Amino acid sequence: MSDTGIYLPGPFRPTGGVPSPAMDADAIKRAQERIDQAASGRIEPAALDATLERAREQVEALAATAAELETTLPSRIGDAVQDGLRAQVLPVGRNLAEIRGLMNQVLRRLERVEGDLLSERHARVDDLALLVDLVASGWRGVEQRLAKIEERLTQDGGAAVYRIAS
């Protein structure tokens, strides 16, 4: 029996009636050495138990960390998103407020221009009414002069004046 606990029969031959050639003693020695090396590389049960215990503790620690992250990660991500949005939206809000102020200024100026245009239109209408009054009074003056001339001509017995029908 070898130190590994494997039993090899005496003449190194299989038992029974199976015919086989004689085995080389060096080959058997090499095989026995390989078996001994494999047996020496085995891990002792106590070391295996200690490794498994450490692995269990590490898995439990990982599970605890995962549970902690599961509870805190959504709020941390939410806070990070809020901070990012705040940092990005704040300048946009300022720009929007500036645009709103500029639009109000444009509207005030447009209203002022509209008021100026309306007052100019009324002034032009007043000017036109004055011009019409002047032309009408001028024609009335011409008509009065013509009427005086006609009257003098008819009183003196002068030429006959024919009116053009209007």
First-to-last CA distance in the chain? 156
Dihedral class, residue 12 (left if φ above 0, else alpha if ψ from -120 to 50, else beta): left
Mean pLDDT, to the nearest integer, of 51-63? 88
- pLDDT at site 138: 93
Q: Which of 36, 27, 34 is nearest to 3 (CA)?
A: 36
Q: Which of 56, 12, 54 is nearest to 31 (CA)?
A: 12
- pLDDT at site 162: 73
- pLDDT at site 18: 53
CA 64 to chain centre: 36
User: How far is the C-alpha of 132 from the C-alpha of 128, rounded, in Å?
Assistant: 6
pLDDT in tens, 84-112: 888 888 888 889 999 999 999 999 999 99
pTM of the predicted model as reported, rounded to 2 decimal places: 0.38
34 touches 6 (CB < 8 A)? no
More confidently predicted of 6 and 107: 107
Look at residue 166 and tell me whether its pLDDT is greater than 70.
no
- 130 confidence band (pLDDT: 50, 70, 90): very high
